[in-house]
């Protein structure tokens, strides 16, 4: 069972991680104006496709890498926000599959965990 001091500690960790993720996301992209909870990759200024195929390939590869990193960070941010919402509204530390408590050592390693160890590899 998660105690109030544990919850307060996890909340602080999650808020710090949320701020860090938002900073990292802002370095790779920007918020989608039509959906502020979504992030889109920002194209670096001056990077235009031109006649040089090698330069174009380099630009394309950088954009693909940025998109992959952006998607990973965005997914993590989504889980952190979900965990903070659960702290606020109830349900924090409960496996989304079984409804059982998530093990304390799992929450220590990942306060945004959505499942217990038994279901950590199951799709949600």
Distance of alpha carbon 105 from the chain centroid: 20
Q: Is 107 a domain residue?
A: yes
Strand partners, 67: none
Q: In the structure encoding, which two tokens stand for residue 52, read together?
A: 């040089």
Per-residue model confidence as pLDDT tens digits over 66-78: 778 888 999 999 9
Q: What is the pLDDT of residue 37?
A: 78
In a domain, 60, yes or no: yes
Residue 15: inside a domain, yes or no?
Answer: yes
Res 45: pLDDT: 55
The DSSP call for residue 94 is: B
Per the structure, the complete domain to which residue 98 belongs is given by 4-36+49-119
Residue 54: inside a domain? yes
In-domain check, residue 43? no
The pLDDT of residue 69 is: 86
Please report, for the domain that includes residue 82, its CATH number. 1.20.120.910
Instruction: Show Cβ contacts of residue 101 under 8 Å, excluding neighbours closer than 6 positions.
Output: 1, 2, 93, 94, 95, 116
In a domain? residue 124: no
Mean pLDDT of 38-63: 64
- Asked whether residue 69 is assigned to any structural domain, the reply reads yes
Based on the structure, what is the number of domains in the chain?
A: 1
């Amino acid at each position: 069972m998660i105690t109030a001091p544990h919850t307060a500690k996890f909340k602080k960790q999650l808020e710090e991680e949320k701020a860090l993720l938002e900073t990292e996301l802002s370095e790779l992209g920007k918020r989608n104006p039509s959906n502020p909870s979504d992030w889109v990759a920002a194209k670096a200024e001056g990077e235009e496709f031109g006649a040089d195929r090698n330069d174009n390939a380099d630009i394309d590869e950088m954009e693909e890498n940025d998109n992959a990193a952006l998607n990973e960070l965005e997914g993590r941010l989504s889980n952190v926000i979900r965990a903070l919402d659960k702290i606020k509204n109830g349900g924090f530390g409960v496996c989304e599959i079984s409804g059982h408590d998530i093990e304390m050592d799992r929450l220590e390693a990942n306060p945004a965990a959505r499942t217990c160890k038994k279901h950590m590899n199951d799709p949600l």
